[in-house]
Amino acid sequence: MSIAIDAKGVDYRQLNELVRNCLSQGERHIIIKNVRGQRYLGAGLTAGDLLLEVEGVPGEDLAFCMGGPTVIVHGHGQNAIANTMDSGTVVVHGLGGDALAYGMRGGSLFIRDSVGYRVGIHMKEYRDMRPGVVIGGTAGDFLGEYMAGGTLIVLNRHNEREGVCGQADKTLATGIHGGEIYLFNYDVPGFLPGTGARLLPPDKADTGRVRSLVEKYCLYFGFDPKPLLERELVKIIPADSRPFHKFYCPAYPVNS
Amino acid sequence: MKLRAEQPGGRALYRPVFDRTLCIGCGECVRQCTFNEIRLDSRNEKRVPHAAGKACGACHRCEVMCPRGAVYIGERPLALRPHAVWSQEAVMRVHLQAASGAVPITGFGAGSDIPVYWNRLLFNACQVTNPSIDPQREPMETTTYLGRKPENLKEADGFKASQLLRLNLPLVFAPMSYGSINLRLQKALAITAREKGILWYSGEGGLHKELYDYSDWAVLQIASGRFGINPDYLTKARAYQIKIGQGAKPGIGGHLPGEKVLEGVSRTRMIPVGSDAISPAPQHDIYSIEDLRLLIYAVKEASGGKPVCVKIAAVHNVAAIATGIVHAGADMVYLDGYRAGTGATPAIVRDNVGIPLELALAAVDQRLRGEGIRHKASIVAGGGIADSAAVMKAIALGADAVAIGTAALISCGCHGCQRCHTGKCPWGLTTNDPDIAERLDVDWAVERLSNLVDGWLHEMKEIMGLNGIYDIGSFRGNRLLLRGVGLSPKELEILGVRHAGE
């Protein structure tokens, strides 16, 4: 059983209120039609068994601080999807904007195509919470900056040779101190990765983790995972878990 | 090259001095010093304390705790030739960096000789033609409401006053995170805030489960690290604070070293034990006022419409920035001044970045009034507020409420040794080491904090009364109550006050 809401001409506050009302009446499959930039859909929602389908283009901060539901967007997404998200799943059948998955602590985010700048900044992890982000196309600069946990995969489905994760010098994974980034079929430019990051070939356990996320991605979007997974893979992890360990000294003598 | 003595960078400027005629050799001072400055030697079958001269920072813990009053802290300055540039601090810093190649880090607020304008402002008082009010005998109104006020009388009819934050007096406890301070102190602040009907700000360390009972008096923070923020966190507070900047370190991020991330901090911040808690300098989803608006309304949407405060450091264009913040939809603007304290900041940033709160506050209030949007947001001002006079001067310059952080710490024992970042605070305040943190008794801290609030409230009422004002609302932004002394025309213009004698 599902219930549909027509979002045409409805203000975002009203729309979110409608969603919350449906939820409190026990609806667990809500379809929002004609979405045209209404913000904060799914924000702060915690029903783990909720399936929220969005038809159209949702506004910014989709699934902000969400804890549990599954959100499927039939259309492009905008900026700040899965901002500070705690758990749950977001699937976008199209492009993603800038600053996705900022400070994301758990759950997963699947973007079918490419994303903009500043994706995955300060993603983190805690105990059994490990966020996973799969980007089907390419990403912009500052991918995984300050990353503190979780797994970020750039699938590069169309095997682009340039601009796979930004064009500028040393912005990929700058300041990473936890988590891991995987890049498929990627010619690593000499200047990459950024400060504090280290480039490695993946080991067996890594491949297993990547496989499971990529297979989920393919399931959502109807691709065959096999040829995608057969391509070359590189991994980026922190060079040191305490990158700023020696950066500071006490301004006054301290006996240890 | 072998050096026989400590270079200035490694030499302590203070040292415990013992009166051996009073000392009974009990070793209490040794146990109290968390910096291993004191050791006990045996001499002629008597146990005698000795100072190493290497690490005393004048925290005065040994002095206060000695059962015989046999120790005090003495100064031990570097006897350098007087010089305008090469002061003791400058020489020490060069040596420190020559030895380490690192950035010297410190705690507390800036202590430089930049003017403290509070000390150049004086209150008016009633004489002859206007009667003063005796607050001991007559009722004085200090209740303060923070938040967005209605546009006009018509709107006021449907206005939900419950959206405003009601304070019994215009004072709040400044944001100090669990991690930078320990849970005992944060709990004491929370209990006191509830008892006194004021607010406590969480800082960005999340909300510990033990403090859930006090969350109705809490303003919880959302900062760039997004630590401990989950859907639950967004239902807990009375209001939320988006932190953009901090007065002690404008423009830079935060860094709680892994050593301080023990089990409790880990659970509350929701990060692994021992990992560095790094807060990026900006929030990377906010690069514009429009982005800020996005987050303000995201928080409102996810929290059921709770008021949102935006905290910024006082910097050059603070008035324009504050205007943007109010237009972005914030219900409160929190101004953190040049002298604001911190648990850790590079000394070079603390002492050289940002502008004094007095000038920033006056400029912001003036600008918001000029734009006709002052009613849309309240101003909370903090940073270097050392007494109730500064509170009332800040209110006269336009603050709706005033935040105290360092003063609260001092009331709980802090002597200003500025070593909050070491995690060894001998008073058990800015440490998470369970053995040292145990030194702070929560009940005692609550009593001290409550007394401080009571004492200041008496004085604040006194200052209102002697001006013939019985309602704090008539004091707010009332700059005619102030006169400046020894200030330039430009300073007076920015402060919006006249010179004494005018």
Of A60, A242, A254, the CB nearest to B55: A254
pLDDT of amino acid B307: 96
Beta bridge partners of A109: A90, A133
- The tokens describing B280, both together, are 């990026």
The verdict on a CB contact (< 8 Å) between B54 and A255 is: yes
* Chain B residues within 8 A of A118 when measuring between CB atoms: 284-285
> What are φ and ψ of residue A54, in 5° steps?
-115, 120
Q: Output the average pLDDT for chain B.
A: 95
**Percent of the residues in chain A that have a pLDDT greater than 70, as a whole number:** 98
Spatial distance between the Cα atoms of B123 and B319, rounded to a whole number of angstroms: 25
> What are φ and ψ of residue A51, in 5° steps?
-115, 115
Question: What's the gap in Å between the CA of A223 and the closest CA on chain B?
Answer: 31
User: Stretch A25-29: mean pLDDT, rounded?
Assistant: 96
Over residues B127-146, the pLDDT tens digits come to 999 999 999 999 999 999 99
B206 contacts: CB under 8 Å, gap ≥ 6: B177, B178, B227, B228, B229, B233, B268, B269, B270
The verdict on a CB contact (< 8 Å) between B284 and A99 is: yes
pLDDT of amino acid A167: 80
The verdict on a CB contact (< 8 Å) between A255 and B37 is: yes
Of A102, A148, A252, the CB nearest to B419: A252
The verdict on a CB contact (< 8 Å) between A125 and B272 is: yes
- The tokens describing A29, both together, are 């499959």
Can you give B405-449 as a three-state secondary structure string? CHHHHHHCCCCCCCCHHHCCCCCCCCCCCHHHHCCCCHHHHHHHH
The verdict on a CB contact (< 8 Å) between A60 and B347 is: no
> Would you say how long chain B is, in residues?
502
| A109 pLDDT more than 90 | yes
Question: What's the gap in Å between the CA of B193 and the closest CA on chain A?
Answer: 28
pLDDT of amino acid A243: 73
The verdict on a CB contact (< 8 Å) between B226 and A121 is: no
Which of the four pLDDT bands, split at 50, 70 and 90, describes residue A191?
low
pLDDT of amino acid A256: 62
Question: What's the gap in Å between the CA of B240 and the closest CA on chain A?
Answer: 14
Secondary structure of residue B9 in the 3-state scheme: helix
* Chain B residues within 8 A of A176 when measuring between CB atoms: none
User: Stretch B39-67: mean pLDDT, rounded?
Assistant: 93
User: Closest Cα partner for B179 from B35, B280, B278?
Assistant: B278
* Chain B residues within 8 A of A42 when measuring between CB atoms: none
Output the CA torsion B180→B186→B192→B196 (10° steps): 70
The verdict on a CB contact (< 8 Å) between A79 and B255 is: no
pLDDT of amino acid B7: 87
User: Stretch A149-155: mean pLDDT, rounded?
Assistant: 97
| CB hemisphere CA count around B477 (13 angstroms) | 15
| B306 pLDDT more than 70 | yes
Q: Whole-model pTM?
A: 0.95
The verdict on a CB contact (< 8 Å) between A250 and B419 is: yes
* Chain B residues within 8 A of A39 when measuring between CB atoms: 294, 297-298, 301
Helix %, strand %, coil % of chain B (to 5): 35, 20, 45
Among A140-144, A252-256, B177-181, the range scoring the smallest mean pLDDT is: A252-256
Q: Measure CA A87 to chain center.
A: 12
User: Closest Cα partner for B273 from B258, B288, B286?
Assistant: B258
- The tokens describing B441, both together, are 């008794």
Query: What ipTM did this prediction achieve?
Result: 0.94
Name the region of B418 (left: φ>0; alpha: ψ -120 to 50; beta: rest): left
User: Stretch B284-296: mean pLDDT, rounded?
Assistant: 95
Closest chain A residue by Cα to residue B235:
A44
Q: Which residue has the tokens 């379809």?
A: A31
Which of the four pLDDT bands, split at 50, 70 and 90, describes residue A188?
confident
**Percent of the residues in chain B that have a pLDDT greater than 90, as a whole number:** 89
* Chain A residues within 8 A of B230 when measuring between CB atoms: 65, 67, 86, 105
Can you give B18-44 as a three-state secondary structure string? ECCCCCCCCCHHHHHCCCCCEEEEEEC
| B70 pLDDT more than 90 | yes
The verdict on a CB contact (< 8 Å) between B231 and A45 is: yes
Size of the A and B interface in Cβ pairs below 8 Å: 165
